[in-house]
Structure 1
């Protein structure tokens, strides 16, 4: 049942914007809970990379006195990667197109993260 609820939230998130290409929910240690990734994209790799970036982001925010980390944003030639905490146990990772309107995506991801937090707690 939890898996179905997570799938529904990710499906709604991906459907909220044509600029979202993929999304996933991971535990904070990088284990995949659910995902809507393109064919050929390795879930384990996405999980490992997300966990590594969040760990580095947590430490950086702490060391540079920026408070508790909320999200990590990476911009590449082919789009953005956004990782947002969904409570203390989970993370939402979203891959977007390069021309994505980030303001709207931040809002949609925050909404999804709030819903996911209620499920995984």
Structure 2
């Protein structure tokens, strides 16, 4: 089973449930793009930066004793970027426009990350490797 198609389906559902979402990208924890729902060719760069931010966030949580990584939210003048753990091997990055309902973004982002984690877990269980 290939990961890209079912993960893109989950990303499409995220856009349907959350109108402020502009796009998303899923990548491995080492920065390799798995699926991309971003305009243009920014997916690979976003994946690499997502993995770097994940590493920094995990390090900060470990250093401060705050538990395992769940999410990081960046607020900018033109919108938001949210990063979610999607199981142990995938990071889901979600972009939302200015004025986005952050509570809804967090709720739906976590729901989508859980669905992406389930897809990755199914792939891992059925993989011949």
Normalising to structure 2: TM-score of the pair?
Answer: 0.88
1:16 aligns with 2:17: yes
In structure 2, runs of 5+ residues without a counterpart are 122-129
| Residues 35-66 of structure 1, C-alpha deviations (whole Å, 9 max, x = no match) | 11012x42121011111111110001111111
Alpha-carbon distance between aligned partners in 2 of 1:50 and 1:15, rounded to the nearest angstrom: 23
In structure 1, runs of 5+ residues without a counterpart are none
Give the aligned partner of residue 77 of structure 1. 77
After TM superposition, give the deviation of residue 4 of structure 1 in Å.
1.7
Contact 2:3 2:34 (C-alpha < 8 Å) held by counterparts: no
Alpha-carbon distance between aligned partners in 2 of 1:42 and 1:3, rounded to the nearest angstrom: 16
Alpha-carbon distance between aligned partners in 2 of 1:7 and 1:73, rounded to the nearest angstrom: 21
Alpha-carbon distance between aligned partners in 2 of 1:7 and 1:44, rounded to the nearest angstrom: 15
Give the aligned partner of residue 34 of structure 1. 35
Normalising to structure 1: TM-score of the pair?
Answer: 0.93
Aligned pairs, number = 120
Q: CA-atom RMSD, angstroms?
A: 1.1
Please give the residue correspondences for 1:1-121 in structure 2 after superposition, counting only pairs within 5 Å: 1-39=2-40, 41-121=41-121
